[in-house]
Structure formats: C-alpha cells, structure tokens
Amino acid sequence: MARYKLTLEYEGTRYSGWQVQQNARTVQGELLEAAWNAFGTKELELMGSGRTDAGVHALGQVAHLDVRSQLDPRVIRMRLNDGLPADINVLDVSIAHPRFHARHHAVSRTYLYQISRRRTAFGKRYVWWIKDPLDIEAMAEACAVFEGFHDFRSFTRDDPDEKSTTVELQECYVAEAGDLILLRIRGSHFLWRMVRQMVGMIANVGRGASSVADLRELLRKASALPATVTAPPSGLFLEHVAYEDEDLPPEIMPTIRI
C-alpha cells in the first residue's frame, strides 16, 4: 500500500463543500472519481486535512491518498488533473510517510477572507461585498482580541463531532489591498462555521454595529448569545495547511485584482 500527499486548489462555488455526500457534487467526490480512473481501481482511501463548507474555496487544501498501485507522483498528478473539472486543480503529489495523516498531523490551518468595498464584475464569487463604510482600525483591534487560546463556543454551531471548543489562534489580522480588505486567520484547528462567524463579527465591529467589548464578552461567556452574523462562503479560502518542519504561507495578498 502506498500513501501519497496531495495539495490542491479549488473554486468552491459549484460544490456542496469538501466532504463526499450522496446525491451532491463535492470536491472529495470529484477527486475520488478522478483517482478511481487514474489508478483503475476503486480500492483507495482519500482523507482531507479538514472539511470546507459549500461555496468555500481552497488555495492549498491537503489530503492523503492510499492505494495499492505505485505510480510516479508526476503521472498521478497529470492523470488526476486530466480527469478533474477545471475548477479543481491538483498542485502537487508526493510520496508520503506511511504514517503521515493529512488531518491529525496538520499543525495549523490558515484561512484568507476577502471583503470588497466595491461592486466588482469579476469578484462576486471571491469576495463579500460590504457597502457600508468600514473602520479598519476597529477591525484590527477586533482581530487582536481573537489571538491566543480561547473558548470559541459562541462562534460555532453545534457539531456532535467536536469534543472541545477551545482553539489556539496564532494569527488574526487585517490588511488592505486596494478596494479589498483581507483577513488572515491561522489556528491549530477550527470549529464548524467558526471563521465565517468570526469574520461576521469583525465586520460588525468595522461597521460600528458591535464593539470590541462585545467581542470580548462573547469570548469570555461562552454561554452568551452566539455570534449573529455569518460571513458568506464566497470570500473564504483555505489558504494553507502546515505540517511540522514546513514553511508558513507567504505574505498576505489578494487572489484577484478588482
């Protein structure tokens, strides 16, 4: 049995998220089908570093693939891409350690969120367009509140698979790039909807609808009212999954010029 590590990008617009489902088009589903064809067998296993929701994109999702046949990683990549639709692209295939696990061994995940201050003919699928004026200073202050160890129970929906709601965020900051406001959030792991609920609240602070003190309250009293604004999936990108001894993602930058 060989184990391969795959790195891939996808535009999530047309998909019901990463996780394979019956009667729904998913990224894992498309990738499995391409792998069945590439290896000529359905006896294989594919495990992602984590799920992404419907409409969420990835610049660097990681998965591991177990299969009996051994092939040159370059051939695997070529065959997979030949079988995949244009909005899913395998960036890299490498031979992995037999015990490498895409989910368990990830030390951090980095998300990029793009807010646009203007209507754009090209960006609709890749941004959250906010018409209201946004106070960037206040948003930066809001971001800083999230860094460190916190109980994020107010920033998730109930997920029976999650035992703990305590998460360490190594990075949470805002940057401007022309008409785009970029948020980068890096953490050990993420709860269901957590990034989009965080971004929703950070945007609320930017609009003046919530205060930084409100955010602190939400983090302190995990039982308080949950975050009420969930940012749309279109602006969200799983940017990078890091494993031990690997580089962190490069300087923050937008995915589109708008």
Phi, psi for residue 57 in degrees, rounded to 5: -100, 170
Measured from the CB atom, is 39 or 126 closer to a copy of itself? Answer: 126
Q: Does 188 bind a copy of itself (CB under 8 A)?
A: no
Phi, psi for residue 230 in degrees, rounded to 5: -110, 120
> Cβ neighbours of residue 50 under 8 Å, at least 6 residues apart?
18, 103, 106, 109, 189, 190, 238, 241
At which residue do the structure tokens 């709601």 appear? 165
Measured from the CB atom, is 81 or 188 closer to a copy of itself? Answer: 81
Structure tokens at 190: 């993420």
Out of 5, 57, 79, 150, name the contact with a copy of itself by CB under 8 A: 57
Phi, psi for residue 60 in degrees, rounded to 5: -155, 60
Give the whole-angstrom CA distance, residue 48 versus residue 9. Answer: 12
Maximal CA-CA distance, the chain:
57
Residue 57 Cβ, how far from a copy of itself at the closest point, in Å?
8
Residue 257 Cβ, how far from a copy of itself at the closest point, in Å?
5
Structure tokens at 26: 């998913």
> Cβ neighbours of residue 120 under 8 Å, at least 6 residues apart?
127, 129, 179, 258
* DSSP notation for 128-146: EE--S---HHHHHHHHHHH
Q: Does 171 bind a copy of itself (CB under 8 A)?
A: no
Residue 98 Cβ, how far from a copy of itself at the closest point, in Å?
29
Site string for a copy of itself, 87-126 (x = CB under 8 A): xxx-----------------------------xxxx-x-x
Measured from the CB atom, is 45 or 82 closer to a copy of itself? Answer: 82
Q: Does 16 bind a copy of itself (CB under 8 A)?
A: no
Segment near a copy of itself (CB under 8 A), from 4-12, 28-36, 93-101, 137-145?
4-12
Active-site amino acid positions: 53
Residue 74 Cβ, how far from a copy of itself at the closest point, in Å?
14
Residue type, 127: V
Residue 166 Cβ, how far from a copy of itself at the closest point, in Å?
33
Give the whole-angstrom CA distance, residue 24 versus residue 86. Answer: 18
Out of 9, 30, 214, 239, name the contact with a copy of itself by CB under 8 A: 9
Residue type, 6: L
Measured from the CB atom, is 214 or 239 closer to a copy of itself? Answer: 239
Q: Does 14 bind a copy of itself (CB under 8 A)?
A: no
Q: Does 25 bind a copy of itself (CB under 8 A)?
A: no
Q: Does 33 bind a copy of itself (CB under 8 A)?
A: no
